């Protein structure tokens, strides 16, 4: 039994995945600098549901309506990773006018229109609070002066508070 020359033999254990790594001439192939990393085996705890914008739905419907040959719609759905039931539902929504409404509607809390009178009242409220703070400071100072000078103050009425 004859052995193959060493330059043709291939060490399978040392070169895992090296099948087809040698050129047809028998010479070694250029060494690749990096191998693609293995995919992450971690499975996410919760699956993220795909959300399609109204513009995307309308674009896909337009492309599907333009398909004339048999199999073109299937190819479009495979390319986009969609199910035919989605296409059917989107067509119904388009006919009902829901897709046009979706385009205008934004997700999340709606903006409340700010009444100009409300802004004016807030500014006035802040101004009056500053004025009240100054008045309370002056009253406190007057009480201390009256106490130092020994001037008796009249008692508070029932409706007044200190």
Q: Is residue 18 part of a domain?
A: no
Answer yes or no: do 63 and 90 share one domain. yes
Q: How far is Cα 147 from Cα 141, in angstroms, rounded to an integer?
A: 10
Q: How many domains does the chain have?
A: 2
Q: Is residue 132 part of a domain?
A: yes
In 3D, which of 3, 41, 36, 4 has the Cα closest to residue 17?
36
Answer yes or no: do 93 and 123 share one domain. no
Q: Is residue 99 part of a domain?
A: yes
Contacts of residue 76, defined as CB under 8 A and 6 or more positions apart, other chains included, come to 60, 63, 64, 67
Q: Is residue 38 part of a domain?
A: no
Residue 115 has a pLDDT of: 83
Residue 104 has a pLDDT of: 65
Full residue range of the structural domain in which residue 132 is found: 115-152
Residue 2 has a pLDDT of: 55
pLDDT in tens, the chain (162 residues): 555 555 544 444 444 444 444 555 555 555 555 677 787 777 767 778 888 888 899 899 999 999 999 999 999 999 999 999 999 999 998 888 876 766 666 667 877 777 888 889 999 999 999 999 999 999 999 999 988 988 887 776 666 665
Answer yes or no: do 58 and 100 share one domain. yes
Q: Is residue 49 part of a domain?
A: no
Q: Is residue 29 part of a domain?
A: no
Residue 137 has a pLDDT of: 95
Q: Is residue 86 part of a domain?
A: yes
């Amino acid at each position: 039994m004859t052995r193959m020359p060493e330059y043709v033999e291939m060490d399978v254990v040392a070169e895992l995945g090296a099948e087809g790594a040698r050129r047809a001439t028998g010479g070694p192939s250029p060494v690749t600098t990096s191998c693609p990393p293995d995919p992450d085996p971690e499975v996410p705890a919760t699956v993220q549901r795909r959300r399609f914008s109204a513009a995307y739905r309308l674009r896909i419907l337009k492309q599907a309506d333009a398909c004339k040959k048999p199999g073109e719609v299937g190819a479009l759905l495979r390319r986009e990773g969609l199910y035919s039931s989605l296409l059917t539902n989107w067509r119904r929504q388009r006919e009902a006018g829901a897709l046009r409404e979706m385009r205008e509607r934004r997700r999340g809390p709606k903006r409340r229109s700010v009444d100009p009178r409300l802004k004016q009242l807030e500014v006035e409220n802040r101004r009056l609070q500053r004025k009240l703070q100054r008045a309370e400071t002056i009253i406190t100072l007057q009480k201390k002066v009256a106490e130092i000078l020994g001037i008796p103050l009249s008692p508070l009425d029932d409706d007044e508070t200190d």
